[in-house]
Chains A and B, each alone.
Chain A
């Protein structure tokens, strides 16, 4: 459990974060912004 990443990406711009969310959504994943 120690190596489990808590975030996919940290402290990135909203545009970049939304691009990642859209990319993952396109392949069947669901990511959220915090």
Chain B
């Protein structure tokens, strides 16, 4: 019950247009009485089973899930802080991220860098997607997947943070 309450509190800060994915993922938690725009279609058995499994996790297991999920999607090592009230991941300052590497190997200075998307302002999502597509040449589906992963990781992190607080 604490987890379901935490999920509801976590999603309350999410813009309406982003809620439908969470509502589909956790139908028993986000019933129509909470969000009138909840989809009418039934969640698949796979999603229902996943939801049930998530609801059975305790705080420690939830934290392990966040860590494992971040490793899986290649977001390990990033700070997870809400940005501008949105449920996205906030980025550590570029200098702060580079500082540990500089301490470890001061002689070998980095000359090439990888750029990762850490978060985005939900109000500017379309603009950010267009810019990323222009920069990377990725398709809309790939960029949307990236955004969805950011949302999911942050949602799970927020739930675990709420449960810990």
Contact = CB atoms under 8 A, between A and B. Distances in A.
A19 B143 CA distance: 19
A28 B120 contact: yes
B98 to A, nearest CB: 7
Contact of B91 (A1, A23, A32): A32
Give the size category of A's interface with B.
Answer: 20 to 34
B102 interface: no
Given A18-B94, A29-B117, 20 more contacts: A3-B142, A5-B142, A5-B143, A11-B114, A13-B111, A20-B115, A23-B135, A24-B131, A24-B135, A27-B130, A29-B121, A30-B90, A30-B91, A30-B119, A30-B120, A31-B91, A31-B115, A32-B92, A32-B118, A33-B115
Interface of B: 72-74, 78, 83, 88, 90-92, 94, 97-98, 110-121, 123-125, 127-128, 130-132, 135-136, 138, 141-143, 145-146, 149
